Structure 1
Amino acid sequence: MEKERKREQARQEKKTTQEKKSMIQLDFSKSADGLLPAIVQDAESGDVLMLAYINQESWEKTLSTGKAHFWSRSRQQLWLKGESSGHVQLIREILVDCDQDTVVFKVEQLGGAACHKGYHSCFFRKVVGENLQTLGEKIFDPAVVYAKK
């Protein structure tokens, strides 16, 4: 009896480990370019900070470092968010959607700004009638921050 119980326990532990591994496997095959959307949200306030794209490499880098990594579609390269500005995003929680083809990164935004235009969020404009209204103030001047390039 004891031997059977231990064997069953070992089988359950192996199954749980396999499930854990498979639970974080994203389905990159669903897009022709191998990119999946990553919604970035402030872990504390719940504010949506940005939308970016991840590939297998950036996903693995994010998981291994605890910092948000993306795939830059314009530069066609791996991108550590905040590498140039210092406004790094520390991963606090990751949510995966039901189809395993979209993620939400809940982050601690260092430096206060996620947007390369200097705002807290990339969603700093609101549609009002036929116009866009700017919300909030700039946290940094992009001309100064990115001049060091």
Structure 2
Amino acid sequence: MPGPPVSWVGLLLIYLIPAIKINYWILGLTLFLTIIIVVLDYVLPSKGTKHFGGSKYGVWGTNIGLIIGLFFPPFGFVIGPFLGAFAAELIYNSKDANGALKAAIGSFLGLLASSFMKILFCFLLLGIYFVVFFLNLEIWF
């Protein structure tokens, strides 16, 4: 779900319109936050796996499942990390299906947390759009 980068490009396009005034510091700060959000989007599912008792194999399974899941929209993005963590934990420790399920649930919760974070950030950018574009107010730091 490429929400924050696409939203930031929209803010950049507003910045390029000469009739609308927006401070370049806002543009730079939102770019910095967008980069952080994108990185956290890939890190949080792995951290969730680790937090719920997953091994390094479960973390790798989460990351591989996340990448493979991108090729199977719309549900692959959600199911991929879960299945990747579950399969990797089962391969690593085939006798502990409950531990594998717990690590997979941690991966899913990490994915939910990163998605919630992205939604909140996109609403923040929407608020900036509204203030700058529709109200035609200049934002300063």
> TM-score normalized by structure 1?
0.30
> TM-score normalized by structure 2?
0.31
Larger RCO (CA under 8 A, 6+ residues apart): 2
Identify, as 1 or 2, the structure richer in strand: 1
